[in-house]
Every structure is written in C-alpha cells, then in structure tokens.
Chains A and B, each alone.
Chain A
Amino acid sequence: MNSIKTTGAQAVMKSLVAEQVDTIFGYPGGAIMPIYDALYDYVSTINHVLVRHEQGAIHAAQGYARTSKKTGVVFATSGPGATNLITGLADALIDSTPLVCITGQVASHLLGSDAFQETDVVGISMPITKWNCQVTKAEEIPAAIAKAFYIARSGRPGPVLVDITKDAQFGVMEFQYEKRTRIRSYRAKPKISKTNVEAAALLINNAQKPFLLIGQGIMLSNAEKDLLRFVEKSGVPVASTLLGLGAFPNNHPQYVGFLGMHGDYAPNIKTNECDVLIAIGMRFDDRVTGDVSRYAKQAKVVHIDIDASELNKIIHADVAVHADAKEALSILSELVQEKQHTAWLQEFKDAKKVEVETLQVSAKELHSEEIKMDEVIKILSDITNGEAVVVTDVGQHQMMTARYYQYNKTKSNVTSGGLGTMGFALPAAIGAKFGAPEKPVVAIIGDGGFQMTLQELGTILQSKVDVKIIILNNRFLGMVRQWQQMFFEKRYSFTEMISPDFVALAKAYSIEASKFEARTDLKETLVKMLNHKGSYLLEIMVAKEENVFPMIPTGASVSEVRLN
C-alpha cells in the first residue's frame, strides 16, 4: 500500500477497512472524538450502530461475531466508556468470542495523573482479554490494530482491547498497513501430532460404547462437515455442551442431547457408562462435569482442543490431542473404522423415554392453566424448523431453550455460557441480526435479565433492526428461586420481581408489542410475531414456580441427575 499522510484517527478507520470491517458497535465520548470524526467520512460504507450503553455495544459485537464468523468491533471512550465494556470482555474471553475493542484514552502527557475520564483500562482489562495494549503514538496504530485482529480471531478466539491516547489520534503519520499473520511468541495453530491422533483412533475403533461430546470449538474451526463425516462413519452417539448447540444437527439420529446441570438425562448418565469418552472443542466446565472425582472414571478419555492449557486441566486425558478441531477430525475420519453402535444408541433412546415420561407426570401436577416455558420453546422450534437464530439470556428460560429448541443450523445459538451474564440477550440479539441479516433472530429473555439492558430498545428504534423479543415472565428471578426452593427451604429472598408494563415500554420505543396470558392461540401468536415486519416484543406470562429438570445438584455426579 502506498503511504499517505493521515492522522492517527484516520489510520484507525483505514486499518479497519483493511480488515474488511463493515459493522461497528459503539458510543462516542471525549477521548474518542477524533476517531468518531474520522468515522464520519465512512458512514456510507461502514455501518456504525449507536447503542445506549457500552455494555450493549460489546454484547452486540459478541452476537455479531457469533452469527457471522467475523470479528466484532467496538468503539468506546475512556474512563466510564471503557469500564462499561468489562462485563462483555469477561464474557467474550470465557466464551471464546473474537472482538476488537478500541477505546479512547486521555492524552499521553496526562496518563497516570487522574485526568478527567482517565482510567487504567489496560490494567483493568488485563485478566479478561486475550491481549491488550496502549498506543501513545499515531505511527503505532496500524501495527497495533493488525496485531489485534490477528490475535482476536486466530487460535482460540477471544477479545482484544486497543487503548489509543487522544494525542495519538490527532498525531500525523504515514499510513501503511500490513496484515499480521505471525507473532513469534504466539502459536495460533498447533502442530498436530499424528501419533496422538492414531492413538485416539485406536481407542475409538476398539470401543464398545464410545461417546462423543462436542463444544463450540467445532464451529470456531468450521469443522461442522468434518464432524458429520466422522460421526456417521464411526457410529458414535453425540451430545453437545451449551455453546456447542448447533454445531451438529439436533434432528440427526445420532444426536442424543444436551449435556450438563440442566442437560438431558441420557447423555449425563451415559457419561458414566461409556468406555471411551471423546471430547472435541469443549473444556469440561463444572456445569458439564458435576463432581469431577466421579466423572467418567470408567472411560478412556480422548480430548481434542486448540488451547493446550485446557488439556488435562479438569479431566485427565488418556489421549490429549493439541489441535484445531477441523484438522483433527479430518485425520480422525480417515483413521476410524466404519461402524454402527445400534444397541448402544438404543440405550440413549430408552433413557430419553424415561426422561420424557417422568417430566410429563411432573407437568400434570402443575396447574394446567398456566403456560410452561417449554411449551413456548417447542412451538417456536416447530414453526421455525429449528433454523432461527435463537439468542438467550441467563436463567431458567435459557436452560429451557437449550433443552427444547432443536438447533439444526450452525451459528444459530447465541447465549452467555461461561460467564452467565444477565442482560446479555437483548443487545446480543441486535448484533446477531447484523451478523446474520438473512435469518430470523429471536431473543428469549426472562423478566429479570430483560430489565438489565432494556435501554437497548432505543438501539432497535434508531437502527431499525428486526429482532423478535420474547419475554418469558414468571415474575421471579426463576433460577435463583428454584435453588431457594430446593436448597434454601423456600426462603424466597429478593427473587420476586415487580416489572413494568413491557408492552407499553416497547410501544414507547415504537416497537410493536403484545402480552399473552392464556394458552389458546399460542402458536398463532408466535407465527404472527415472526411474520411481523420489523421488531416485535411478545410478553408471555408463564407459570410462576416452574422448575427446570433434569438437574444435577452442585457437588453431585452426572449419574445422579435428578428428574424431579
């Protein structure tokens, strides 16, 4: 590229263009004004989404990254603008979401002086970013941004923050941009050990009861097709973590369900009955494993992950393969024998039947006139054919959606997994729609979580984004209430919620809305919402004290999963 004299702020924009950025979520302020001024020249080519709070910007960028496979980009100013990104950074780090956050900073001569809106954002965000840096000179901007994009999306993806002082934004420099493809102290893609993959294949080929657990790593490495080939050839049953939902079509006969604390009965109990446990692109979160000392002790474990520090971190792996999931699966598919595990698969189906029957009995015991969350999700799944992008918040509705929505398409599940961030769904849904404009985006949110970031209705109003919002209102912080009921003698300490008139609230933002209280016409109501042109908010009053089952209580083993 020919060098041209530009300001640091213009260099930021040119660098983003060089990285093919077409969408930015942000909020202006004093220390980032030169960059916003430079952005003004790009309004016809770059879509900047003005949010109502910086937390909304970063969650939107996360939603965008999760549905588009691109890197989410965020602009925020110094001080409070930057600190408002913290929750999203922590969320994106634990859920491996590629983000580049650009924050303004006070002029370099004021650093450390407690200047107006000065905060040590590099120090604050150090433990919750994959990498961060501060730039104090205009000429350092292109290299810092190039490095940021390379780090954010390579290897195990994650959030990166680049803090740029105001004088660096004003400074004049010769612009030159070179994309980064290598950092000498960082190995993005591990060299796969053929011997280890062969050892894994040998275990799988000799297994009588092999069981495969998949995580988001499948989608992050674009290994969906390789996975399908491996699964169909080897005949193994497949279960998914929360973030892995969508990586494998849930209507596939070898798909046996969702793992973990509120996962399905079959995959949880079979974890302690299989002879070879294969885990790919997942990290054995405590919500998946329950008590680790009683987790899959009878099985040989094969663990494949791109992040070496995840191998042997929680569960000892008999064969640990440090590799990109796609690469490992393509080699593994060659090495495994063609097999069918019909009787073993049938065991999962039998266990599933037990689960369905037990849950039906419990459902009858509840007041029948009250709408249950799972009814809503099942109908939504049917009428969207499991092909909508479904964004969830955190709590009972999230687990119900993970349990009953049939995710048939990759990159269709956006939720806050590792961090469990309430308030995530509304802004993430906005970003998800920008990331996948051709797909319907449905946000399913509890009455509690919705009120944590409801100001983003203003973003929907201004950017005219088409997001369908379902509030499952049980007038409680349902998940905490469920725990209080089960483990704290029904002492409902501060979990009852008084909420505003959500329909009126939506209408105040010119968003079409309705409230649904009776069971009749639930399907028609959902169809009407989906067919509505533009955003729609549907508040559904659901049973006040419904519990999510199955459940593995804290400290229990996966084989002690409770059905009621």
Chain B
Amino acid sequence: MEKTYTVSVFTENSIGMMNRITIIFTRRHLNIDSITASESEIKGVFRYTIVLRTSREQVDKVVGQLEKLIDVFKAFVHEDSEIVHQEIALYKIRTETLTNGDVEKVIREHHARILTVDPKFMVIEKTGHVEETQLLFENLQPYGVLEFVRSGRVAVTKPMKELSAYLEEL
C-alpha cells in the first residue's frame, strides 16, 4: 500500500552527495515529492529530508541502499505520526490589495505574517503543513497572487535518541 514516508539521511558534506542520494530513488523509479538539506546539530554532518509516496517495502530497501553509500552515516524512514514536520511558504501580492479589508482578515485567520511591504508588493509568510499553506494560497488567489513558493519538508523525530548516539555506535 502506498503511503507518504519521510526519509532522513545523515551524511558527510561532500561534493555530489545530493546526486548520490537521488540516484538511488531514480533507479527504483521513485519520484521524490520534496527534498531539503542543511547542516544538522553536529558540525559537518548534513541532514537530508526526503518525502515520497511509496510502499513500506520499497522505502525500507531504499534506506538500506542509502546506508550503503560511503559518505552516509545513517538513514531513517518515518511515517507522519513519528515526526514533527513543517514547511514554509511565501506569497507575493500587490500592496494595493491591502486597501481591501478582506485580505487582512485572511492573513489574520491563517496566522500568517507579513515579511515585507514595498510600495508595489508585499510578501506574506506562512509555515505549516502542505494543506495549511495550500489553503492560504487558495484564499489569497481571489486578490491575485503574483508569486507563490513552498519549501520542502523539514522534520524532527519524536523519539528522543540523538544522532550522536547512533554515530557512536558506528
């Protein structure tokens, strides 16, 4: 059965790492919904967060092959219930639409915030799950959204075991 899975991969910061990781998904004909990368709580250790829809069996095999990469410390697979995850979205709209009181109401209701206001345009920011950022997008659309962008998922796990504990095991 297909389901959304989040894969966390901890790696060295080496050239081509993103490519090495994505090749493994490509080979199994798996499409990645989102991918993000940044340095983790340990200096020099990078964390990739990859979201995809597939079966548990496939994703477990992918994790096995990710861990086989020389520069990968450890890879984990999580279901949505095992993580706290978030995405960020930015919306660019015309400043003049603010004169319409409804836009302010929409922003307020969605707990979004205004990042910047230029005489011509303003940028709204909203963090949340896809459904939430998507809903704001739909509610702003009647006023004209000039640009809309959403980041990939970032996630931390609910279990308390720290990465450094895994690294010590290695």
Contacts and interface: CB of A to CB of B under 8 A. Distances in A.
Interface stretch (B65-73, B95-103, B149-157): B65-73
A313 B61 contact: yes
A309 B67 contact: yes
A127 B27 contact: yes
B23 interface: yes
Contact of B73 (A133, A185, A308, A313): A185
Contacts of A526: none
Given A185-B170, A309-B64, A123 B70 contact: no
A131 B65 contact: no
Contact of B70 (A186, A307, A308, A313): A186
A313 B64 contact: yes
B85 interface: no
Interface in B68-82: 68, 70-73
B70 A151 contact: yes
A118 B12 CA distance: 27
B15 A307 contact: no
Interface string A300-327: 0000000111000100000000000000
B11 interface: yes
Given A185-B12, A187-B170, A123 B19 contact: yes
B16 interface: yes
A130 interface: yes
B129 interface: no
Contacts of B14: 133
Contacts of B20: 126
B65 A309 contact: yes
Given A122-B16, A123-B19, A184-B170, A130 B61 contact: no
B44 to A, nearest CB: 10
B70 A126 contact: no
Interface in B7-27: 11-12, 14-16, 19-20, 23, 27
A506 to B, nearest CB: 41
A10 interface: no
Interface in B21-66: 23, 27, 61, 64-65
Q: Which of A131, A133, A185, A313 has the most CB of B within 10 A?
A: A185
B27 A185 contact: no
A498 interface: no
A122 B16 CA distance: 9
Contacts of B19: 123, 126
A185 B17 CA distance: 13
A134 interface: yes
Contacts of A307: 68
Q: With a 10 A CB-CB cut-off, give which of B15, B20, B27, B68 has the most chain A CB atoms.
A: B68
Contact of B72 (A151, A185, A308): A185
A177 to B, nearest CB: 20
Interface in B110-166: none
B23 A309 contact: no
A498 B75 CA distance: 53
A308 B66 CA distance: 11
Contacts of A123: 16, 19
Contacts of A126: 16, 19-20, 23
B23 A185 contact: no
A183 interface: yes
Contacts of A134: 15
Nearest to B23: A127
Interface string A149-188: 0010000000000000000000000000000000111110
Contacts of B64: 308-309, 313
A123 B20 CA distance: 9
A356 B43 CA distance: 65
A309 B62 CA distance: 9
Nearest to A156: B68
B27 A309 contact: no
Contacts of B16: 122-123, 126
B15 A308 contact: no
Contacts of A309: 61, 64-65, 67-68
A131 B68 CA distance: 10
B149 to A, nearest CB: 28
Interface string A119-139: 000110011001101100000
Contacts of A186: 70-71
A183 B73 CA distance: 10
A308 B23 contact: no
Given A122-B16, A126-B20, A183 B70 contact: yes
Contacts of B72: 185
Interface in A81-131: 122-123, 126-127, 130-131
A88 to B, nearest CB: 19
A326 B71 CA distance: 26
A343 to B, nearest CB: 38
A220 to B, nearest CB: 16
Contacts of A308: 64, 67-68
A307 to B, nearest CB: 7
Nearest to B167: A184
A456 B106 CA distance: 74
B9 to A, nearest CB: 11
Given A126-B19, A151-B70, A185 B11 contact: yes
B15 A185 contact: no
A126 B27 CA distance: 12
Interface in A182-237: 183-187
A130 B70 contact: yes
B61 A185 contact: no
Nearest to B11: A185
A338 to B, nearest CB: 36
A205 to B, nearest CB: 30
Interface of B: 11-12, 14-16, 19-20, 23, 27, 61, 64-65, 67-68, 70-73, 167, 170
Given A134-B15, A185-B11, 18 more contacts: A123-B19, A126-B19, A126-B20, A126-B23, A127-B27, A131-B70, A131-B71, A183-B70, A184-B73, A185-B70, A185-B72, A185-B170, A186-B70, A187-B170, A307-B68, A308-B68, A309-B64, A309-B67
**Closest 5 CB pairs between A and B?**
A309-B64, A131-B70, A185-B73, A186-B70, A127-B23
17 contacts: A122-B16, A123-B19, A126-B16, A126-B23, A131-B70, A184-B167, A185-B11, A185-B71, A185-B73, A186-B71, A307-B68, A308-B64, A308-B67, A308-B68, A309-B65, A309-B67, A313-B61
